[in-house]
Amino acid sequence: MESSLLCTMSEPQFERLMINRPQLALKFLKALSDQLKEREDQLEQCALHGLRKRVLHLLSTLSAKFGVIQDGYALIDLPLSHQEIANMIGASREAVSSVMSELAKEGVVKTSRLSVQLAVTILEENIPRNSTH
């Protein structure tokens, strides 16, 4: 967590800002587009894949964004509980805990209190690809 300053503006003010600052407008559109792509990927995972695959996809995505490679594992530099993982993929904490235990036994993940590490080999297999539809 860090200190933040939030400001509000009316819709007409926002529109003027976007018109007067086209580079800012492009960055804003890119950020929105990236978020939509992430949501589309999440929905696809939920609709088409089992829990294990969804967990691996989420951990791969988080590793790609926030991971720090150490000793063959990508340490996800975020505090993550099983409940938070479950919330992100639409599953129960108990089911996620079971899958995480299996993955830990297989050496695919290492977990400690609120931290997760994913084997780099798994990360490379599951890394979300930037694709256009």
* Domain boundaries, given as residue ranges, for the chain: 10-48, 50-128
Can you give the pLDDT of all 133 residues of the chain as single tens digits?
A: 789 999 999 999 999 999 999 999 999 999 999 989 888 887 887 777 789 999 998 999 899 888 889 889 999 978 888 999 999 888 999 999 999 999 999 999 998 877 899 998 887 676 654 433 3
Reported pTM? 0.68
Q: For the structural domain made of 50-128, what CATH number should be given?
A: 1.10.10.10
Instruction: Identify whether the C-beta of residue 43 lies closer than 8 Å to the C-beta of residue 106.
Output: no
Instruction: Identify whether the C-beta of residue 76 lies closer than 8 Å to the C-beta of residue 118.
Output: yes
- What does the alpha-carbon distance between residue 23 and residue 100 come to, in Å, rounded to a whole number? 43
